[in-house]
Amino acid sequence: MKPGTLNKLLILTFCATAFSQVNAQSKRKIEKIFKASEIVNNHYTGFALYDPAKDKMIYELDANKPAIPASNTKIITVYTALNMLGDSIPGLRYITNGDSLIFWGTGDPSMLHPDLKSTRVYDFLKNSDKKLFYSHSNASTDFAGSAIYTIAMVSLPVGENTAQAYAGPDGKVRLKPEFLNEFLRLDTSYHPRAFSVRRDERTNTFSYPAMPVPANFKQTVYLVPGAKLTQQTLTEVLGKPVNITGMALPAEAKTIYSIRADSLYKRMMLPSDNYLAEQILYLCSSTLPGKLSVEAAIQHSSKNYLTDLPDLFQWRDGSGLSRSNYFSPRSIVKMLIKTRDKVNDEQRLLNMFPVGGVSGTLRTAFKTDNGVPFVWAKTGTLSNVRIQGGYLVTRKGKKFIYSFMNNNFLIPSADVSNEMVRIMTLIREKY
């Protein structure tokens, strides 16, 4: 062997050994942090810390074990939408036939949404000089949601598919849209602690108690979707007749696009909006054959986009409200890597996530470093479940991707949340 070749081999061996020693030291430092914690050692804690620059896991704690991800499920929902939808959200499918405009919903939740403020579909229908016909034929069911969580999938939501209950000028309770007041009744057997309006579990009928209506009373009530509700709501908000037809959605139907996709994802992710999360998956299914269906979107994504996850998973909804969702910390990290690669723009990516000390569900959790944030992550919260998953920048400028999962604890949830913040801040300071 030539002396030069031998020297190169020795240098490579030395570098590899040094690299391995640095990784081992990093692992021991983080392991020490977790072992010293009285909080994370009294329940299931799963943790994974990944270094993108080295394409290597720095530290894992039960990272292969599935756990309830709560709203970290929304990361999978966003990734699915990034693959199935384009840069703009399809808001309406339609055809014209003589003097008639026939249209179908896509599941887009942005129409007259109070925060998204999308009016393109509204303007299109409002300004049409043709007779309007709404078809509900591509909706999977009239009521596909859960009465427990008050979320129902809607093919053409208007203003979040909600009614607003409020105190009218005459001191009586009223509903908006106005046509719903026909279905509002006094119920002397209803005795809430404070005045409130109650919706029937399966129908859009409402009751209120025999109590004085507070002058400032306001309440949002989710509605049970269906063709008749959409038709009546559109008739009221458009100020002109909308009819119902059972016509099937033809392949040649055209599409009206509503808003930029990123604005919808950001509005869902920052406040962790469960309604929008479910609607986004419902919307994704509009790109598939057949009826709109959250289940269809989940099956399509699992088969086509999630086959490279490192551990077995179970996925049931878009929001993470279901306790039947199971993903391991390693799989959450993988989803964060895949989302980063799919977006391929760091600023655009981080803009979709709550920012520690700045915005969303992390606004009051972390403190910034003299106004500079260092963590962008999705939280997850259910009873006995606290989760974080996202992106971290250390004081030395290293960029990490992490998943921190806590399940089945019996101590106060604030203690667990605060401990996650403390540990992630320590990692920020030490690396």
Q: Which of 47, 49, 39 is nearest to 67 (CA)?
A: 47
Maximum separation of any 2 CA atoms in the chain, in Å:
99
- Coil, strand, or helix at residue 237? helix
Q: Which of 21, 46, 52 is nearest to 34 (CA)?
A: 46
- CA-to-CA separations, 284 to 194, 251, 275, 278, in angstroms, rounded: 39, 17, 14, 10
Q: What is the DSSP string of 335-361?
A: HHHHHHHHH--HHHHHHTS-BTTTSGG
- CA-to-CA separations, 364 to 60, 360, 417, in angstroms, rounded: 27, 9, 11
Copy the structure tokens of residue 252.
Answer: 């040649």
Do residues 416 and 44 lie in contact, with contact meaning Cβ atoms separated by under 8 Å? no
Give residue 150's pLDDT. Answer: 52
| Other Cβ atoms within 10 Å of 193 Cβ, number | 6
Q: Which of 52, 73, 88, 149 is nearest to 301 (CA)?
A: 73
Give residue 18's pLDDT. Answer: 44
Quick one: 166 exposed, middle or buried, by C-beta within 10 A (0-12, 13-18, 19+)? middle
Using the structure block, give the residue that is written with the tokens 């006995």.
Answer: 384
3-state helix, strand, coil in the chain (%, to 5): 35, 25, 40
Please state the separation of Cα 131 from the chain's center in Å. Answer: 36
- CA-to-CA separations, 73 to 116, 272, 345, 378, 421, in angstroms, rounded: 22, 10, 22, 9, 20
The rounded average pLDDT for each run of 10 residues, N- to C-terminus, in the chain (431 residues) is 58 50 71 92 96 96 97 98 97 97 97 92 97 95 47 86 94 96 97 96 93 95 92 96 97 96 97 95 96 96 98 96 97 98 97 96 93 96 98 96 98 96 95 86
- Coil, strand, or helix at residue 273? coil
| Other Cβ atoms within 10 Å of 219 Cβ, number | 16
Q: Give the C-alpha separation, 426 to 136, whole Å.
A: 53
Give residue 148's pLDDT. Answer: 39
Q: Give the C-alpha separation, 389 to 402, whole Å.
A: 6
Q: Give the C-alpha separation, 106 to 126, whole Å.
A: 18
Predicted TM-score (pTM) of this structure: 0.90
Q: Give the C-alpha separation, 78 to 379, whole Å.
A: 14
Q: Which of 288, 306, 329, 401 is nearest to 69 (CA)?
A: 329
